[in-house]
Structure 1
Amino acid sequence: MEVCIDFLNWLDPDISVQILMYLEDPSDLVRVSSLSRSWRDFVIANGFFKHLCLRMFPQLSRVARVMELNKCRAKKPVEVGSSYSMEWESLARDHRVYATLAQVCTSFIIEDCISEAISASSTDHYPNESIHNTLVPWRASYWSSKGQSNPAEPETLIYKLKSEFCVITEINICPDHELISSWHIYSSNSVRFRMGHPKGPNDLGSCHLGDSLPCNADDTFIWTYTSPEFPMAQEGCLQKFRLPEPVLCIGGILQIELLGRAQRHEMDGLFYICISYVQVVGRSLSPTFCVEILEPSGTFVLKNDTQGKFYTPPSLPKNEAHEISDDQLQRGFRYRQHLVNILGGNEYAVEFIDEYESGEEEDEAEVEYAL
């Protein structure tokens, strides 16, 4: 049998570090740290999991320190010079926390991460055309901005996510259209996304005033990420905007910037933006992780509470809302388009009903809505 050689004992430590830095899969680092005690100590001492998480999510550069809330991890004070020095325990704690973070960021279920709507920069007819209408697909309702004579005037929508620590991969938006006379799509020309957190613990409580912020959003929130600008199609369908890389939203606040106006209303000659549905796709990392924002520095404490286990999200009870597939959403939007044609006298209701009754796999919720 050939003699096995441990390259950690033969290569210069700096070269070994450069080799292991090429590992990008958290599972590979787990295997490396499981080979032997010396390999595990090498991984801990060089903070490979922390470096991996920083490459995955640059937003983690604002971490001031990490904490473990699991009481089982607490250790008794040790004497200076012992093998469990304070410095080594700090490295080991970072290793455990970042290793857990790397795994949950790639293993948690994908879901709609919006918790509630906070505010819109303007609302045409509050509350009938409120931002809260954008949280429910299929419903024949929408958010509408106030009319503007300047087509370059932007609008913003602000949402609170399900937790203050989320990984976001894409945002989906469906523009609304004229429901009465002609087929006009009230979309923006382009869209951009910002993520962040309130400046203070009490700032979020002042946001629910008539659907609009009492002051400028930049005075209320600190934005830690700004996406590229994406063009929007002038189509009344669900449009998907995938971020260049998954983004770690620290603080749980998302702002959608709707830039430019494409459609003028026939009755008053003003430009409007109307949105019927917004969906934020990603992973909520709570309750395994939470954050504490440190003001005024803007840094934060990363807190890990695993109780020695990876958190597994519970399955939804049968009587709660289930995840809506893209196909179901598109059928719901097609229903609305058929309904508009019927109201305009361009399509017979019998043909419309026959089409929807012919689908064998149609959900009961869709049938109930159509009726």
Structure 2
Amino acid sequence: MDSASDFLPQLEEDMSFKILEILDNPSDVVRAGCVSRSWHQFVVRNSLSKRMCLRMCPQLSEVVHVTEPTSSEKTVAEVGPSNSSEWENLEKEHRIYAYLAHCCTRSDVRVCVNEAISASSTDNYPEESIHNTLESRDRVGRLASYWSSKGNKNPSAPERLIYKLAGDLCIITEIGIQPFQAYFQSGLPIYSADFVRFRLGHPKGSMDTSDYQMDRADNETAHEKFTWTYTSPEFPMAQENCLQKFKLAEPVLCIGGMLLVELLGRVQRQEMDGLFYICVTHVQVWGRPLSPAFGVEILEPEGKFALKVQKYDPKCLEETSAVATTALQRRVLYLGRIFHMLRGHVVEVDYDWDENQDEEQDESDDEVLLG
């Protein structure tokens, strides 16, 4: 065969497809589509970028429609066999999935949890609210910082914590849970669970943020307001005062941005009342947030999704306002706790802040306030 000839048109369609389907790097698929007009037509016609994304993230099989910014839709390359709407749609899918594959592999793994939504029960609300689990320290000043379930005679009684991730699309790789050690109780008991399990999903219907702000003392049925599309295996928890990391077998694309932490089984009985409790100091989630570059729309009642490119700019994934916003929210929550305690109880609150951490926090708050 002449070394200068294009071998792709000389092969049967199935053979060409098998060769190019081996490509597993998003950049290679894009480069293949730029070799020549015939290669581009082949890559687009056979949806190679979409197939790659489906191999990486099987959850995308529930996506039935894709959209992109209007300006991009007007710049469809006229290299297809015709300018038909079908070819334009294939071109659009190629651009969107190639961009998605690039973002899935090139963006850095970082903290993905954004908001604490609800807990199935809370012993002392709001002092032991789920919001405390967003803080990595087990005490803020001289106040203990943790979430506590209500006591239960049954050591098998589960508890559920619900969190909003940093965007409607996040690739989750690892989740960390730190049980709380009651340093103010005799024997320094650690109120861990026997096992932990994770679910990822989305709100049912077209719920917005205000619809699922359900934090209160008891919210046993909050998880029923969401559709959980992924369930992890059960991971054993150790009764240790440290951040225990649970790595998922494969990175999972969370479509809808909701995380359910199921705490299964209770190991520690409280000496005061003889009841079993679960207490958590900190919950952490690691992965790749794909917002604000991407968004999703839930298509009810089918439970399918529309995938939307909101911005063709990978740099917008490097930093989002979610982390800074959460930092301010945490500070407001601390102030709210102080205010609540001063109104409900006659106590003297003397904060012994960690100066180094607070200086860093103050700097980040100032940056947000000053833009």
- Please report the TM-score for the alignment, with normalisation by the length of structure 2: 0.80
Indicate whether 1:176 and 2:180 are aligned. Answer: yes
The worse-fitting range, judged by mean Cα deviation, of 201-210 and 52-61 is 201-210
Partner deviation per Cα, 1:276-306 (whole Å, 9 max, x = no partner): 0011111211121111101111001111133
Q: How is 1:25-174 mapped onto 2 (pairs within 5 angstroms)?
A: 25-74=25-74, 83-140=82-139, 141-174=145-178
Cα displacement (A) at 1:75: 5.9
Q: In the aligned structure 2, how far is the partner of 1:28 from the partner of 1:154?
A: 47
Which of 266, 274, 278 in structure 1 is aligned with 2:271?
266
Q: Is the partner of 2:43 in helix, strand or coil? A: helix
Indicate whether 1:224 and 2:229 are aligned. Answer: yes
Go from structure 1 to structure 2 and tell me whether the alpha carbon gap of 1:212 and 1:196 turns closer, same or farther (over 3 Å shift). Answer: farther
Go from structure 1 to structure 2 and tell me whether the alpha carbon gap of 1:227 and 1:113 turns closer, same or farther (over 3 Å shift). Answer: same
Q: In the aligned structure 1, how far is the partner of 2:293 from the partner of 2:259?
A: 21
RMSD: 2.8
In the alignment, residue 6 of structure 2 is paired with which amino acid?
Answer: D
Number of equivalences: 324
Q: In the aligned structure 1, how far is the partner of 2:303 from the partner of 2:360?
A: 48
Tell me the residue number matched to 1:246.
Answer: 251
Q: In the aligned structure 1, how far is the partner of 2:37 from the partner of 2:300?
A: 40
Which of 295, 302, 314 in structure 2 is aligned with 1:297?
302
Cα displacement (A) at 1:128: 0.7
Tell me the residue number matched to 1:282.
Answer: 287
Go from structure 1 to structure 2 and tell me whether the alpha carbon gap of 1:234 and 1:82 turns closer, same or farther (over 3 Å shift). Answer: closer
Cα displacement (A) at 1:45: 0.6
Q: Is the partner of 1:259 in helix, strand or coil? A: strand
Go from structure 1 to structure 2 and tell me whether the alpha carbon gap of 1:34 and 1:75 turns closer, same or farther (over 3 Å shift). Answer: closer
Q: Is the partner of 1:312 in helix, strand or coil? A: helix
Cα displacement (A) at 1:365: 1.9
Q: In the aligned structure 1, how far is the partner of 2:319 from the partner of 2:311?
A: 19
Partner deviation per Cα, 1:114-142 (whole Å, 9 max, x = no partner): 11100000111111111000001114110
Q: In the aligned structure 1, how far is the partner of 2:47 from the partner of 2:308?
A: 18
* Cα contact 2:179–2:282 (8 A) shared by 1: yes
Cα displacement (A) at 1:104: 0.7
Which of 305, 310, 317 in structure 1 is aligned with 2:314?
310
In the alignment, residue 110 of structure 2 is paired with which amino acid?
Answer: E
Cα displacement (A) at 1:38: 1.4
- Please report the TM-score for the alignment, with normalisation by the length of structure 1: 0.80
* Cα contact 1:70–1:306 (8 A) shared by 2: no
Cα displacement (A) at 1:151: 0.9
Partner deviation per Cα, 1:125-175 (whole Å, 9 max, x = no partner): 111111000001114110011111111111010011121111111111111
Cα displacement (A) at 1:211: 4.2
Q: In the aligned structure 2, how far is the partner of 1:321 from the partner of 1:115?
A: 9
Indicate whether 1:196 and 2:195 are aligned. Answer: no
Q: In the aligned structure 2, how far is the partner of 1:297 from the partner of 1:49?
A: 25
* Cα contact 1:166–1:282 (8 A) shared by 2: yes
Q: Is the partner of 1:53 in helix, strand or coil? A: helix
Q: In the aligned structure 2, how far is the partner of 1:45 from the partner of 1:363?
A: 59
* Cα contact 2:124–2:217 (8 A) shared by 1: no
Q: In the aligned structure 1, how far is the partner of 2:326 from the partner of 2:201?
A: 28
Cα displacement (A) at 1:28: 1.9
